[in-house]
């Protein structure tokens, strides 16, 4: 069964991840929380890998990753074929990451975004479809050998 969303965080993103789960619940989005489940220090690549592998294998349609800045999670996730992790900083860049780049993983920074802005970014990202058209060929080139 393919899940709509899988999410994970490291210790720097744990608090924001927990708050964003309430947003997902309110929106009725089914998800699996792949950890971490506390603020105890962990290594972000381990959690990025779980989410990126699930998206890459088609086990989840989209992923959500949260670390201190979002940058480490995005970098780690983008190592996996078929994963297009975006690190938007506002609603417009979230919309464009979906519309133009068909981003399938959203990376956010728990130490650089307040909850309200992160929630708005998540909502816009989830609601925005890929525009296709002229963007489709460009997206295909991302995974080209």
Catalytic center residues: 67, 100
Q: Give the CA distances from residue 128 to residues 25, 39, 98, 112, in Å, rounded to whole numbers and listed in that order.
A: 18, 31, 6, 23
Chain mean position to CA 106: 2
Q: What is the token pair recorded at 8?
A: 């994970």
Instruction: Assess contact for 124 and 117: CB atoms under 8 A.
Output: no
**Which stretch of DSSP H or E encloses residue 65?**
strand 60-67
């Amino acid at each position: 069964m393919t899940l709509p969303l899988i999410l994970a965080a490291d210790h720097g993103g744990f608090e924001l991840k927990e708050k964003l789960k309430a947003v997902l619940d309110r929106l009725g989005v089914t998800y699996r929380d792949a950890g971490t489940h506390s603020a105890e220090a962990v290594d972000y690549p381990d959690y990025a890998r779980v989410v990126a592998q699930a998206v890459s294998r088609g086990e989840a349609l989209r992923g959500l990753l949260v670390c201190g800045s979002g940058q480490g999670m995005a970098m780690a996730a983008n190592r996996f074929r078929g994963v297009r992790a975006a690190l938007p900083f506002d609603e417009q860049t979230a919309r464009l990451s979906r519309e133009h780049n068909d981003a399938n993983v959203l990376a956010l920074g728990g130490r650089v975004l307040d909850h309200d802005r992160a929630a708005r970014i998540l909502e816009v990202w989830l609601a925005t479809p890929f525009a296709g058209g002229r963007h489709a060929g460009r997206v295909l080139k991302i995974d080209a050998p």
